[in-house]
Structures are given as C-alpha cells and as structure tokens.
Amino acid sequence: MLLAKKDSDEQVLLAEDQAWIESSSDSNREISENTVFMAKMEKICLWIIDSGCSKHMTRNRALLTNFVEKFLGTVRFGNNDFAMIAGYGDVVIGSIAIKKVYYVEGLGHNLFSVRQFYEKGLEVTFRKSTCFV
C-alpha cells in the first residue's frame, strides 16, 4: 500500500513494503517494513543566456520578488513583433539575486542578458555546452 500526502512545498510519501525471507529451516516468516520517502518537488525554470538581448527578461511574473508594476516601454523580438514591458523585479536562484529583471507578457522564453551581466562587472564564459557567469 502506498500513501501520499502533498502540501504546497513538498510531497511526503509513506510506503509500506512486505517481504518474505526464507530461513535455513525452510519456514517462511513475514517481514514488515515501513519506509518514509521525502521528495521535495521543484519546478525547473529554464533560462536562455542571450548575447543579443539588452536586458534580463521573464514571462513568468511569479519568479519576480520585489516586483514593481510600471510601464517601461516595449521590447521588439527577432521577428519584429512587439510586447509591453509591464514592470520589473528580482529573480532569486539559490543564494544569488538577479536584479531588475523585466516582466514581459508574451515572451517566448526567460532570457538572461550577457550584456547586462557585463555591465554589472561579471564575466561570462562559454565552454562547450556550459556557460559560466
């Protein structure tokens, strides 16, 4: 039997497993085990490091802390479509805070700007399929 309890941040699973072990006297005895599994559910948030992007941008308002709702103009995409910059906030990833990330409704992907990292004095290095900031 498998029981599961889920709350807003994590999922707790209680699994009950029964096994049979054969002893040297050819008699069987039942072993009952109760095991608790803790599984923290984390959403994967993909960011593209973009050397052509002028500012950090996200389409997901929920990622932004210290959000300021303010019209900041428009952004033009590579296909010449435009979208409104509806505000900005900070994105926290682990112990790192990325400041002033624009909130752009309709953006196809979350974008980190190489230029904005450089302007903050950070070095951005690409090696094979990895990017170091």
pLDDT of residue 85: 95
Check if the beta carbon of residue 88 is closer than 8 Å to that of residue 98.
no
Q: What is the pLDDT of residue 34?
A: 58
Task: State the fold for domain 47-132.
Answer: Cathepsin D, subunit A; domain 1 (2.40.70)
Report the alpha-carbon distance of residue 57 to residue 50 in Å, rounded.
10
Check residue 39 and give its pLDDT.
61
Q: How confident is the model at residue 7, as a pLDDT?
A: 45
Q: How far apart are CA 43 and CA 4, in angstroms?
A: 19
Q: Residue 24 has what DSSP assignment? A: T
Alpha helices per DSSP H over 1-133: 114-119
User: For the chain, which residues make up each domain, given as ranges?
Assistant: 2-40, 47-132
Number of Cβ atoms within 10 Å of the Cβ of 119: 10
Per-residue pLDDT of the chain (133 residues; tens, 9 = 90+): 333 444 444 434 334 444 444 444 555 555 555 556 666 655 667 888 888 888 999 999 999 999 999 999 999 888 888 999 999 999 998 888 899 999 998 888 899 998 988 888 888 888 887 787 8
